[in-house]
């Protein structure tokens, strides 16, 4: 941990704002802000003052290798004494740019999976109401071609993104250190992005609430089947837009947390995630198999989509139970 990070951490431990710390040191708030983003280095007198204020040694503040958090982490998880990888500013910027571009790929691919049954649902209900002069088998064939075409394209996008990202995935799985100035730069970018993150999450939640309105209207009106099919299609389209927005927002926010090793990317959480990855993979493979098997057997594609929101809620609950069990064993 570098000096800038230690100043930020110790200030927050004491519950002080930048303004309050600045007043105690006899400097401006802007000076403290620059120290914390590694834009400037405090002089020796300020280092001595901060040492007394924080109750730490000057060696701890000045020497990057004296990192209390790292010592605790190594003791807890039995980490080896080998030096951790150091992330440079150039590598950090490459990682952030890769995640920003990759968020669009992952979000679009996920939306394509959600939208894949839309044509099958709409054509199926329209054929039943004789809206088109085509057979049910032809409409089902067209719908299935669209469904598997969308899924195939989405899988291709997932695979190519995963292969491009492979050389950086160790940042999300393993502990590392950052060179001087990296954490400050990342914090500044995260703070700048924070209003966008909050706005997009709020929009996503509101759209989720509004997405059921078409179904409610159709239910009240007792509309024909093809209208019901269209309303289900509209629901899936809105959900696809919401998921797209949330994935983009979450991946960008997550890239900052990854480099700062905060939130879901702390050393402890990384260790826990390694133990739950197998469960997650098996769970979603089984969910996909159940969805496709039930859908082809029952041919009720306009109903079987309900598996996905139920599976999502159930996954969160089961994952919490698995983490609790692992925590008790440790």
Residue 191 has pLDDT above 60, yes or no: yes
Name the residue ranges covered by the structural domains of the chain. Answer: 3-77, 86-266, 275-330
Which phi and psi (to 5°) does residue 177 adopt? -120, 160
Radius of gyration of the chain (CA): 26
Least confident interval from 7-11, 26-30, 103-107, 314-318: 314-318
- 120 with 295: CB under 8 angstroms? no
Rounded CA-CA distance 60/50 in Å is 11
Q: With cut-offs at 50, 70 and 90, classify the pLDDT of residue 193.
A: very high
Rounded CA-CA distance 19/24 in Å is 9
Which phi and psi (to 5°) does residue 62 adopt? -90, -25
Residue 136 has pLDDT above 60, yes or no: yes
Q: With cut-offs at 50, 70 and 90, classify the pLDDT of residue 329.
A: low
Q: With cut-offs at 50, 70 and 90, classify the pLDDT of residue 118.
A: confident
**Per-residue pLDDT, 230:** 81
Residue 287 has pLDDT above 70, yes or no: yes
64-117 pLDDT, tens digit per residue, is 655 544 434 444 444 444 566 788 888 889 989 999 999 999 999 999 988 888
143-178 pLDDT, tens digit per residue, is 889 989 999 999 999 899 888 887 777 777 777 777
**Per-residue pLDDT, 200:** 92
Residue 132 has pLDDT above 70, yes or no: no
Query: What is the CATH architecture of 3-77?
Result: Orthogonal Bundle (1.10)
Residue 285 has pLDDT above 90, yes or no: no
pTM over cut 0.75: no
Q: Which residue has the higher pLDDT, 84 or 196?
A: 196
Mean pLDDT of 259-265: 80
The secondary structure of 144-193 as a DSSP string is HHHHHHHHHHHHHHHHHHHHHHGGGTHHHHS-EEE-TTHHHHHHHHHHHH
Q: Which residue has the higher pLDDT, 273 or 82?
A: 273
Mean pLDDT of 49-55: 85
**Per-residue pLDDT, 82:** 56
Residue 188 has pLDDT above 60, yes or no: yes
Q: Which residue has the higher pLDDT, 76 or 52?
A: 52
- Most confidently predicted of 54-68, 107-121, 127-141: 107-121
Calculate the CA dihedral of residues 301, 305, 307, 310 and round it to 10 degrees.
Answer: -150
What mean pLDDT is reported for the chain?
81
Which phi and psi (to 5°) does residue 37 adopt? -105, 15
Mean pLDDT of 46-69: 75
Rounded CA-CA distance 10/101 in Å is 34
Which residues does residue 177 pair with via DSSP β-bridges, in sequence order? 86
Residue 185 has pLDDT above 70, yes or no: yes
């Amino acid at each position: 941990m570098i000096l800038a990070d230690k100043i930020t951490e110790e200030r927050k431990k004491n519950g002080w704002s930048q303004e309050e710390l600045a007043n105690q040191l006899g400097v401006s708030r802007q000076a403290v802000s620059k120290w914390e983003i590694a834009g400037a280095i405090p002089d020796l007198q300020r280092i001595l003052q901060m040492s007394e204020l924080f109750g730490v040694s000057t060696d701890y503040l000045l020497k990057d290798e004296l990192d209390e958090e790292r010592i605790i982490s190594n003791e807890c998880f039995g980490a080896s004494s080998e030096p951790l990888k150091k992330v440079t500013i150039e590598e950090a910027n490459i990682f952030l740019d890769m995640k920003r571009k990759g968020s669009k790929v992952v979000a679009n691919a996920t939306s394509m999976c959600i939208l894949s049954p839309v044509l099958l649902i709409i054509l199926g209900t329209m054929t039943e109401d004789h809206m088109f002069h085509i057979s049910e088998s032809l409409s089902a064939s067209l719908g299935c071609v669209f469904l598997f075409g969308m899924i195939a394209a989405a899988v291709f996008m997932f695979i190519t993104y995963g292969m491009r990202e492979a050389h950086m995935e160790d940042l999300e799985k393993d502990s590392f250190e950052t060179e001087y100035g990296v954490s400050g730069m990342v914090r500044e970018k995260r703070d700048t992005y924070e209003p966008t993150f909050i706005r997009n999450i709020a929009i996503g939640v509101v759209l989720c609430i509004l997405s059921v309105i078409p179904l409610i209207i159709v239910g009240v009106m007792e509309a024909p089947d093809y209208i019901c099919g269209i309303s289900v299609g509209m629901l899936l389209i809105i959900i696809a837009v919401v998921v797209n927005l949330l994935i983009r927002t979450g991946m960008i926010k997550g890239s900052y947390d990854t480099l700062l090793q905060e939130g879901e990317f702390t050393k402890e959480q990384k260790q826990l995630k390694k133990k739950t990855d197998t469960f997650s993979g098996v769970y979603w493979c089984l969910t996909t198999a159940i969805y496709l098997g039930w859908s082809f057997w029952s041919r009720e594609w306009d109903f079987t989509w309900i598996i996905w929101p139920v599976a999502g809620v159930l996954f969160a609950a089961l994952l919490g139970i698995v983490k609790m069990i692992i925590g008790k064993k440790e």
